[in-house]
Amino acid sequence: MPEILLATRNPGKVREIRAAAVGLPLVWHSLQEFPELPEADECGSSFAENARIKALHYARLTRLPTLADDSGLEVDALGGQPGVRSARYAGLPRDDAANNRKLIQMLTGVPPERRTARFRCAMAFADRGRVLLETEGTVEGQIVDQPRGAGGFGYDPHFLLPDLGRTAAELPTELKNLRSHRGQALRAMLAQLEAFYRAAGQWDP
């Protein structure tokens, strides 16, 4: 079966991607298996650019076909921040709790109707020095002050999906994968990966 490296050390992302791809004839690895590798320099100005940078970087170092994503939160009242700096919004080292505290502080005094936001995800699949496949996904929502839910990670406890009346952290895994920005990008990517490996004669479900 084809082996693919997930270019992340985030266990939440690894769980979501593996859950969405369960049953497919793919073997998944993650950067948790390669602790010695240097981090990619995520210097891009967009999620798509950073996804390409990471996919190429780790594919080169491991010689494994690599799936990378870059994703984050865009808040309209903050001019699109934190954007590509979502994971390090409060500085380094990366800390979800600190990022969330800064987000809510920055939104002090902003009324609920102006707290519109979206999660955005870009994915890139690279092998042998080339980006071969790319997808994107977005989900619209609203930022709430009080965290809700024990699931998810990152900004999920503060990201309300108004039509469901629940935050991303309150959604069961199956529903989150259906609705989330990463779930959308991943479904499109998995369809492209199937076509790619079928064409190469390497898809044996």
> For the segment 100-127, what is each residue's pLDDT rounded down to a tens digit?
999 999 999 999 999 999 999 999 999 9
Q: What is the pLDDT of residue 19?
A: 82
Clarify whether 127 is annotated catalytic: no
Residue 184 lies in a domain: yes
Residue 43 reports pLDDT greater than 80: yes
Q: What is the pLDDT of residue 205?
A: 73
Residue 69 lies in a domain: yes
Q: Which two tokens stand for residue 123?
A: 């994915």
Q: What is the pLDDT of residue 22?
A: 87
Confidence of residue 174 (pLDDT cuts 50, 70, 90): confident
Confidence of residue 32 (pLDDT cuts 50, 70, 90): very high
Counted domains in the chain? 1
Residue 204 lies in a domain: no
Q: Domain of 97?
A: 3-199
Residue 147 lies in a domain: yes
Q: What is the pLDDT of residue 133?
A: 98
Residue 77 lies in a domain: yes
From 41, 69, 70, 156, active-site residue: 70
Q: pTM of the entire structure?
A: 0.91
Residue 12 reports pLDDT greater than 80: no
Q: What residues contact residue 194 under an 8 Å CB cut-off, 6+ apart?
A: 24, 203
Which three-class secondary structure state does DSSP give residue 198? Answer: helix
- The CATH number of residue 23's host domain is 3.90.950.10
Residue 205 lies in a domain: no
Nearest-angstrom CA–CA distance, 150 and 81:
24
Residue 37 lies in a domain: yes
Q: What is the pLDDT of residue 16?
A: 79
Nearest-angstrom CA–CA distance, 151 and 179:
15
> For the segment 59-97, what is each residue's pLDDT rounded down to a tens digit?
999 999 999 999 999 999 999 999 999 999 999 898 999
Average pLDDT rounded to a whole number, residues 186-202: 94
**Looking at this protein, which amino acid is placed at residue 151?**
G
Confidence of residue 151 (pLDDT cuts 50, 70, 90): confident
Reading phi first (left if > 0) and then psi (alpha if -120 to 50, else beta), residue 109 is in left
